[in-house]
Amino acid sequence: MAAILPRAGLRALRTLPRATPVARGSFASTLPRTQRPLAQPITRRFLATGIPEQPRLRLGSTAPNFKAQTTHGEIDFHEFIGNNWAILFSHPADFTPVCTTELGAFSKLKNEFDQRGVKMIGLSANDLSSHGDWVKDINEVANTNVQFPIIADADRKVAFLYDMVDQRDIDNIAEKGIPFTIRSVFIIDPAKKIRLIMLYPASTGRNSAEVLRVIDALQAADKKGIATPIDWNVGEDVIVPPSVSTEDAKKKFGEVRELKPYLRYTNF
């Protein structure tokens, strides 16, 4: 398994005594200077103990556990999930426009996630000193009340653990400094298994309704042993898996509509 940083990057990082300037035109250059990334934290905190290997975050693999400070205090991630489903979603930085709209939208859907037994937890590449004031802005802009925790990940330990970084930022870490996170969504089931991953660049906001839709699809598949077609929503017909014969499907589901021997629909 390859290390997070290429050897050439490591040699360059070891020679950096101070923070490196932010490249013009980069996402980080649009932020206030106090929020721009520094190279020094990653050299001191990561390289001092050796470079951690990147975990293989495949669907069905166990979500890596971690402890972190959040706006609700210190958490152990697996203990936080408990016997629930969970979504972990990352944001590049506090006080940035796209992130503010996203957290506001997720906050407004809290009751929807609660009904599905899903716990939400956000992550931003800043420390706790700014999270509180940012949450106030989110509440004001979105007319909401953010109640889920937001992880403080200024040193990007969780971001690297979950591969929430752009390869271009890794390749240019010596010039640009420690990278911000991309917009990642991890849907994790009660067994702590990763069931779905969505990755978005920093410039593109997510669709909160799609996150709910795929949670519905995953839970329906687990409960009923079915599959869901394109653009499926709750209440629409579902697909009988090829592993189930038509005869058995009729016994289990009742009416079965066959378009092709391998494409059969039933009511959900």
- Residues written for the chain: 268
Confidence category of residue 50, pLDDT binned at 50, 70, 90: very low
- 134-172, pLDDT tens digit by residue? 999 999 999 999 999 999 999 899 999 999 887 777 777
- 174-220, pLDDT tens digit by residue? 666 677 788 999 999 999 999 999 999 888 999 999 999 999 999 99
| 124, β-bridge pairs | 91, 152
Tokens found for residue 134 = 């940012």
Domains in the chain with CATH codes: 7-207 (3.40.30.10), 225-266 (3.30.1020.10)
Residue of 12 and 135 predicted with greater confidence: 135
- 93-122, pLDDT tens digit by residue? 899 999 999 999 999 999 999 999 999 999
**Residue 173: what pLDDT?**
67
* Residues 4 and 53 sit within 8 Å (Cβ to Cβ): yes
State whether residue 87 is helix, strand or coil. strand
Element (H, E) at 28: none
Q: Which residues are CB-neighbours of 233 under 8 A, at least 6 positions away?
A: 213, 216
Q: Which residues are CB-neighbours of 8 under 8 A, at least 6 positions away?
A: none
Classify residue 205 by its DSSP letter: -
Alpha helices (H) in 68-187, listed in sequence order: 77-81, 97-108, 110-115, 128-142, 157-161, 167-171, 173-176
CA atoms of 251 and 32, how far apart (whole Å):
63
Choose, from 42, 99, 187, 249, the residue flagged as catalytic. Answer: 99
Asked if 99 is an active-site residue, the reply is yes
